[in-house]
Amino acid sequence: MKPKPDAVCVVFNPAAKGEKASRVRDQILALSHGARVLETRHPEDAQELAAQAAQEGFRTVVAAGGDGTINGVVNGIALSDARLGVLPIGTMNLFAAELGIPPRLEAAWEVIAAGHERAIDLPFAGSRYFVQLAGIGLDAQVVKETDRTFRKNFGPVSYMVSLAQIAGRKPPLIRIRTREGTEHEGTFALIGNGRYYGAPLPIFRDAVPDDGKLDVLLFRGFGPLEILRYLQGLVFGTHLDMKDVEYLQCAGLSAESEGEAPVEVDGELIGDLPIEIGIADRRLRVVIPETRSAGGGSATAS
């Protein structure tokens, strides 16, 4: 049977809540009043379940989890007419923070029920879409070397442990060429479609999720002291004053390296350089709070 025009499907990642998963599932079922709830068993399930929901005709597909779950759902619905809803219940919820989606489950569901939406840009790295952030080099190497279970149990602390181990190595040189034709070099890069990274920290000063631009931070130094200095700069907002940090905006870029350099998107490892990173202008429809807008406009109800 084809779903009703306003039907909602929730893709729920029980691993995001650990031992509390059963209680959170019951809350979602109680709040959703008849929405279909599909549970992931493996990280790759979110994309498959979301694609299935979009194909069946669900108008709104909700990602109930962290940024990794959102990434999977977005890749499942990216080529469909379905829009994205978010229940931010994971370890990292940067995308929800970016769009002003409240962290409390009941309040986040009220946003979905109200149905106000905004079309934002949809970046891609190779064949993989992402919503908030891509990392090349150091950031992705940390993701690569951080055990998933350790990450789930200890959150940001787990990344710091891996970072300390990686900081003493010699990194490959990364070369970036923007779609506009400019060339840049560094040891690692962060690429955003919004302001936030990590805590969340507003490290991409000029980022707007629907301006058709990628925001790029390119770091030229490496080693324990340099990385510590960068971290302090990111926390206190002084990183853009550093001579060995470059901030640029572009419509797209290609990146390559002299040695192996991994790439991550929304906290999930996707491979190594070389890679093409671009953006599909306002391709993703997202349900957001009525008073919140991406790019200075107002949300619309539909």
Q: Please provide the average confidence, as pLDDT, over all residues in the chain.
A: 92
Which pLDDT value is given to residue 298? 45
- Kindly state the tokens that stand for 81: 């007419």
More confident position, 99 or 158: 99
Angle between helices 45-56 and 67-77 (to 10 degrees): 40
- pLDDT-derived band at 297 (thresholds 50, 70, 90) equals very low
- Kindly state the tokens that stand for 244: 């060995």
Which pLDDT value is given to residue 156? 64
Dist CA 124 CA 68 (whole Å): 15
CA–chain centroid gap for 98, Å, is 10
Question: Could you tell me which residues are beta bridge partners of residue 184?
Answer: 176
Residue 295 reports pLDDT greater than 50:
no
> 185: exposed, middle or buried (C-beta count within 10 Å: 0-12, 13-18, 19+)?
exposed
Closest CA to 108 of 77, 84, 73: 84
Domain boundaries, the chain: 8-115, 129-281
Which pLDDT value is given to residue 4? 66
Q: Dihedral of the CA atoms 191, 197, 198, 202 (nearest 10)?
A: 150
Superfamily, domain 8-115: Probable inorganic polyphosphate/atp-NAD kinase; domain 1 (3.40.50.10330)
- pLDDT-derived band at 1 (thresholds 50, 70, 90) equals low
Q: How far is CA 52 from CA 26, 29, 158, in A?
A: 23, 20, 34
Checking DSSP bridges between strand 60-65 and strand 8-12, what pairing results, if any?
Answer: parallel
Residue 165 reports pLDDT greater than 90:
no
Give the mean pLDDT of 153-164.
74
Residue 293 reports pLDDT greater than 80:
no
More confident position, 144 or 92: 144
Which pLDDT value is given to residue 292? 53
Residue 180 reports pLDDT greater than 60:
yes
**CATH for the 129-281 domain, from 2.60.200.40, 3.90.1150.10, 1.20.1250.20, 3.30.1180.10:** 2.60.200.40
Residue 2 reports pLDDT greater than 70:
no
Dist CA 294 CA 6 (whole Å): 23
Give the mean pLDDT of 124-144.
96
CA quadruple 92, 95, 96, 100: dihedral sign: positive
Peptide bond preceding 3 in cis form (omega within 30 of 0): no
More confident position, 43 or 237: 237
Mean pLDDT lowest among 40-44, 96-100, 111-115, 150-154: 150-154
Which pLDDT value is given to residue 296? 46
pLDDT above 90 as % of the chain: 80
Mean pLDDT lowest among 5-19, 65-79, 263-277, 286-300: 286-300
Mean pLDDT lowest among 1-15, 107-121, 198-212: 1-15
Which pLDDT value is given to residue 291? 73
Structure pTM?
0.90
- pLDDT tens digits along 22-64: 999 999 999 998 899 999 999 899 999 999 999 999 999 999 9
Please spell the DSSP secondary structure of 105-129, one letter per residue. Answer: HHHHHHHHHHTEEEEEEEEEETTEE
Residue 152 reports pLDDT greater than 70:
no
